[in-house]
Every structure is written in structure tokens, then in C-alpha cells.
């Protein structure tokens, strides 16, 4: 097992209550947007509750057209340890890639279309570590530089669920916490 991605088989058909929110009319443009905070399926909410978890934020949706990608970035202002549950729809052949930041890399903090902070990096600022497809779902590390390639013929959506312990609902999960919590459902 690596430290960047592991796949799960959990007893939940879909994290969204209303998947019609995945609609995005500008098919050739990437996009990031929030689902409504109440748009979480009953099964997912109950599953999280049963294992002592809650959603940190609403579900964040990422759309990447075919033959495109998401450049190297961190979901926040600096390197950290953040394990997130991502559900990938379509995007056959797409992969998520992880990188180590070189010590001298300058930061370039921007904002996504969803208003979330992200820090962009160029190829020469990072060292490749690992690549793997995201499944339905996978736990992924988003606190270190990563990017997505979707160079095949399918559009790709990711439903990203940032989870927290009910006892500390704003904090998110570390990699070690996520491994421990989800060990029974790992593939
Ligand atoms: Fe990201």
C-alpha cells in the first residue's frame, strides 16, 4: 500500500442525494463547484454517522473534460496532511498523480471557481512520486502537490467529500486516521 491513494468498497450506492447537480453545460471547460450542503444521500450520512464521522464541508464537484487535466496544485495554502474521500465518475484512463515539493519552490496561491484556495506549482518545482486512478470511492491525499490527467475520450467528474471526526467536525482527517477508520473496507 502507498501513502497517496487507497480504494474502498463501502455499503453506499452514491454520496449525492440528487446527482442532477453534476450537470455542467460548458462541456469543454473544467469547473469546480459546491453541491448544496443538504445534497448528501441518506445512506452516506448514515454510514458516516455509524463510524463516527461527519462531512467537513458540502460535497465539492470537479469536472474535467476529455483530453484535459488539472495542473499540479495543493488544495490549500501550504503542504499538509489531508485525507479526502473522492468518488470518480467516468474519465476512463484518468489518473491522479502525486508529487514531492522541492525545498526552494515559490508558492503561487490562487482561488478555484468554487472560491477555495489552491496553490499552483510548475513541473520544475516538484518530484514525481506516484500515480493511480481514483475509484468509487478512494481515499486520496490532497495535502501534497497533485494533478489529474484525463487524456482519454470520456468526461470526468469527481465528487470530493472532506470528512471529519464528529468530535472535531472542522478538522478533516489525516492519512493515518483515514487508514485506521476505513481499514475494514479497503480493497
Ligand atoms: Fe486537488
As a whole number of angstroms, the distance between CA 181 and CA 187 comes to: 14
> For residue range 143-159, what is the model confidence (pLDDT) as tens digits?
999 999 999 999 999 99
Report pTM. Answer: 0.96
pLDDT of 106 > 80? The answer is no
| pLDDT confidence bin for 42, thresholds 50/70/90 | very high
pLDDT of 7 > 90? The answer is yes
Nearest to 75 by CA among 30, 121, 128, 29: 121
- The mean-pLDDT minimum among 14-18, 78-82, 83-87, 165-169 falls in 78-82
Task: Identify the pLDDT of residue 77.
Answer: 85
Q: Per-domain residue ranges for the chain?
A: 32-185
Query: Across the chain, what does the average pLDDT equal?
Result: 95
Q: How far does the centroid of ligand 1 lie from the alpha carbon of residue 166, in Å?
A: 24
Q: How far does the centroid of ligand 1 lie from the alpha carbon of residue 143, in Å?
A: 8
Q: How far does the centroid of ligand 1 lie from the alpha carbon of residue 178, in Å?
A: 17
Q: How far does the centroid of ligand 1 lie from the alpha carbon of residue 73, in Å?
A: 6
Q: How far does the centroid of ligand 1 lie from the alpha carbon of residue 103, in Å?
A: 20
Q: How far does the centroid of ligand 1 lie from the alpha carbon of residue 70, in Å?
A: 8
pLDDT of 25 > 90? The answer is no
Q: How far does the centroid of ligand 1 lie from the alpha carbon of residue 144, in Å?
A: 9
CATH number for 32-185: choose from 1.10.1760, 2.60.120, 2.60.40, 1.10.3470: 2.60.120
Q: How far does the centroid of ligand 1 lie from the alpha carbon of residue 169, in Å?
A: 21
Q: How far does the centroid of ligand 1 lie from the alpha carbon of residue 60, in Å?
A: 11
Range 65-76 average pLDDT: 94
Q: How far does the centroid of ligand 1 lie from the alpha carbon of residue 142, in Å?
A: 6
User: Would you put residue 93 in left (φ > 0), alpha (ψ -120 to 50) or beta?
Assistant: left
Q: How far does the centroid of ligand 1 lie from the alpha carbon of residue 168, in Å?
A: 23
Convert 32-56 to b/e letters by CB count within 10 Å (16 or more is b): bbebeeebbbeebbebbeeeebebb
Q: How far does the centroid of ligand 1 lie from the alpha carbon of residue 49, in Å?
A: 25
Range 95-122 average pLDDT: 89
* In contact, 118 and 162? CB cutoff 8 Å: no
Task: Identify the pLDDT of residue 164.
Answer: 98
Q: Residue 20: CB partners within 8 Å, gap ≥ 6?
A: none
Range 41-70 average pLDDT: 97
Amino acid at each position: 500500500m502507498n501513502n497517496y491513494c487507497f480504494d474502498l468498497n463501502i455499503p453506499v450506492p452514491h454520496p449525492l442525494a440528487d446527482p442532477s447537480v453534476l450537470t455542467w453545460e460548458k462541456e469543454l471547460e473544467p469547473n469546480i463547484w459546491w453541491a448544496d450542503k443538504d445534497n448528501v444521500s441518506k445512506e452516506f450520512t448514515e454510514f458516516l454517522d455509524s463510524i463516527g464521522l461527519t462531512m467537513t464541508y458540502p460535497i465539492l464537484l470537479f469536472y474535467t473534460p476529455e483530453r484535459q487535466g488539472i495542473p499540479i496544485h495543493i488544495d490549500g495554502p501550504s503542504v499538509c496532511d489531508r485525507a479526502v474521500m473522492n468518488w470518480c465518475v467516468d474519465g476512463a484512463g484518468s489518473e491522479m498523480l502525486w508529487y514531492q515539493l522541492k525545498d526552494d519552490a515559490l508558492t503561487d496561491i490562487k482561488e478555484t471557481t468554487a472560491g477555495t484556495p489552491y496553490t499552483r506549482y510548475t513541473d520544475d518545482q516538484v518530484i514525481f512520486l506516484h500515480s493511480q486512478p481514483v475509484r468509487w470511492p478512494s481515499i486520496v491525499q490532497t495535502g501534497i502537490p497533485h494533478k489529474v490527467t484525463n487524456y482519454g475520450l470520456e468526461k470526468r467528474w469527481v465528487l470530493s467529500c472532506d470528512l471529519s471526526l464528529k468530535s472535531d467536525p472542522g478538522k478533516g482527517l489525516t492519512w493515518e486516521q483515514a487508514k485506521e477508520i476505513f481499514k475494514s473496507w479497503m480493497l
